[in-house]
Amino acid sequence: MPSDMSSNLAHEPVADRKLTEFLTYRVVRLHHALNAQGMDVLNDVAGVTLSQWRVIAMVGSGTATTSRDIARVSVIDPAIISRTVHGLEEAGLLTTSRPADDRRVLQMALTGRGREIYARTLPHMQARQNALLGALSAAEQEMIFGIFDRLEEAAESRDFLK
Amino acid sequence: MPSDMSSNLAHEPVADRKLTEFLTYRVVRLHHALNAQGMDVLNDVAGVTLSQWRVIAMVGSGTATTSRDIARVSVIDPAIISRTVHGLEEAGLLTTSRPADDRRVLQMALTGRGREIYARTLPHMQARQNALLGALSAAEQEMIFGIFDRLEEAAESRDFLK
DNA sequence: CAGTATTGCTTGACTTGTCAATTATTGAAT
DNA sequence: ATTCAATAATTGACAAGTCAAGCAATACTG
C-alpha cells in the first residue's frame, strides 16, 4: 500500500498535474498489471508465454495465419513473431508452410496439440476479458473502446511540439 | 494501413469477441503508441531515454527522491532504477547521497544541468498530456481515470479462474 | 524482359525489462 | 545485547523487445 496520497508535504515545486496522474503513467501501470495477470493465467492454464499465446490465438481464431498478417493486426515486432513461431514449431504446437502462390509468406496452422491448447485456454481468456469489462459501469463499457480509439490516434501526433 | 476491418471473410471459427477488440490487446497497442511518442519527444527535446526521464521527473518534481519511493510510486523495477540512476550520475544530471538517518536509501537530487533539462522538458510533456486528454470528449475526460482505477484493480484479481 | 523496388521473413547486435541471489543496514523481540 | 527478520539497493543471468542489415521472392517500370 502506498502512503497517504492526500497529504502533499513536498517542499519542492510540483507539476500542475501530479505526475502519478499523467495519463501515460496510468497506461504504463495498467499495461504492467495486465501483463502480469495474463502471464499468470497462461502459465496456470496452458504453460505458454504471452508471445506464444498471441500467435496461437491469432492462428487458432483465423484472425491472422501468416507472420505478415500477425504483424499487421497486432503490434508485435516481426522479429519476435519469427522467433516465437519457430519456438512453437519446435514445441509441436504449430506447423508452417510456404504457399505456392507466394513463397515469401509463412503460412501457419495449429497442430492437434496447438488446437487443444487454444480450445482449452480461450475460455479462460474470455472470462478474463469479461471480468475486466465487468469491473466497469455500463456507461464506462460503452465509452471505453472509443476512448482507446481517440487516444491511439492522438498518440500518433507530434504536433504539440509547436 | 490495415486492410478493411469490416469484412470478415475468415472461414475458420472466430472468438465471440474479436481478438483485436480484446481490452488487453487495445491496452498493449496504446502502450506501444504512447511509448513511441514519448521517446520521440524526449529525444527531440532533451536527448534522454524514457527511463531517464521518469527518474528526472520524479526527482525534479519532488514526487519521489529515493530509489525506494520511485519504485513504490511507479512500476519501474528497482534494477532499472539502479542502473538508470547511475547512468544519470555519470552523465552529470543527478547526484546521490546516503542520508545519515538511514544509510540504506539512496537520496537523489538533480544537478544544475538536470534541473535545466527538467524545466525545459516538463512543459512539452504537459502539452502532450493536454493533447491526449484534449482528444477526448468532456464526458470521456471525466470518466477515464475512474476507468483506469477499476481496470487496474480488476487486473489484480485471478478469481475468474474458478 | 532486364533492371529496380518492394515485400516477407530472418538474423545478429543491442537495449530494456525481469527475476533471484547477495550485501548492508535497520528494526523488532526477548 | 544478540539474534532474527525486514528493508534498500545492487548485481548477474536471463528473457523480451527493438533496430538495422541481409536474403529471397514477387511486383513494378520502361
Residue B16 pLDDT: 58
Q: Nearest residue of A to residue B30 by CA position?
A: A152
Q: What is the pLDDT of residues B70-80, one digit of tens each?
A: 999 988 999 99
Specify whether the CB–CB gap between B149 and A23 falls below 8 A. Answer: no
CA contacts within 13 A on the Cβ side of A103: 1
Which of A28, A108, A115 should one mutate to test binding to chain B, selecting the residue with the greatest count of B CBs within 10 A?
A28
More confident residue, B22 or A83: A83
CB-nearest partner of A126 from B15, B29, B146: B15
Bridge partners (DSSP) of residue A95 are A109
Phi, psi dihedrals of residue A124, rounded to the nearest 5°: -65, -40
User: Which amino acid, one-letter code, is at B57?
Assistant: A
* Mean pLDDT in residue range B58-86: 95
* Mean pLDDT in residue range B95-120: 96
The pLDDT averaged over each successive group of 10 residues in chain A (162 residues) is 39 58 92 94 93 96 95 93 96 96 96 96 94 95 94 92 77
Residue A30 pLDDT: 95
CA B77 to CA B74: how far, in whole Å? Answer: 9
Percent of chain B with pLDDT over 70: 90
Residue A125 pLDDT: 94
* Mean pLDDT in residue range B134-152: 95
More confident residue, A157 or B18: A157
| DSSP secondary structure of chain A | -PPPSS-----S---SS-GGG-HHHHHHHHHHHHHHHHHHHHHHHT---HHHHHHHHHHHHTS--BHHHHHHHS---HHHHHHHHHHHHHTTSEEEE--TT-TTS-EEEE-HHHHHHHHHHHHHHHHHHHHHHHTS-HHHHHHHHHHHHHHHHHHH--TT--
CB contact under 8 A, A10 and B143: no
Strand boundaries in chain B, DSSP class E: 94-97, 107-110
C-alpha cell at A154: 492522438
Q: Which of A77-91, B83-97, B148-162 has the lowest mean pLDDT?
A: B148-162
